[in-house]
Amino acid sequence: MGVSKLKLPKICEHCGKAFEAKTVNTRFCSDACNNASLRLRKKQALVEKPKQIDPSRPI
């Protein structure tokens, strides 16, 4: 697949910094922001999802 020569101005979804994206799918300015955002989303998913209690399992 060829590489696009377009530089799309975008705003990082994690830190809010302006950057030039190389593809239309790019959401973050760096790997660090991508990883930090992923960790944050995983953490929020754990907080929002209550722990399932199995009534048949003894405590």
Q: Please report whether residue 9 resides in a domain.
A: yes
Domain that holds residue 24: 3-47
Task: Give domain status of residue 33, yes or no.
Answer: yes
56 in a structural domain: no
Place of tokens 């960790």: 39
Is residue 39 domain-resident?
A: yes
Residue 53 lies in a domain: no
In a domain, 31, yes or no: yes
Domain count, the chain: 1
Residue 58 forms part of a structural domain: no
| 54 found inside a domain | no
The pTM of the whole model exceeds 0.85? no
Contacts of residue 7, Cβ cutoff 8 Å, sequence gap at least 6: 20, 21, 22
* pLDDT tens string 3-45: 667 899 999 999 999 999 999 999 999 999 999 999 999 999 8
The span from the CA of 42 to the CA of 52, in Å, is 17
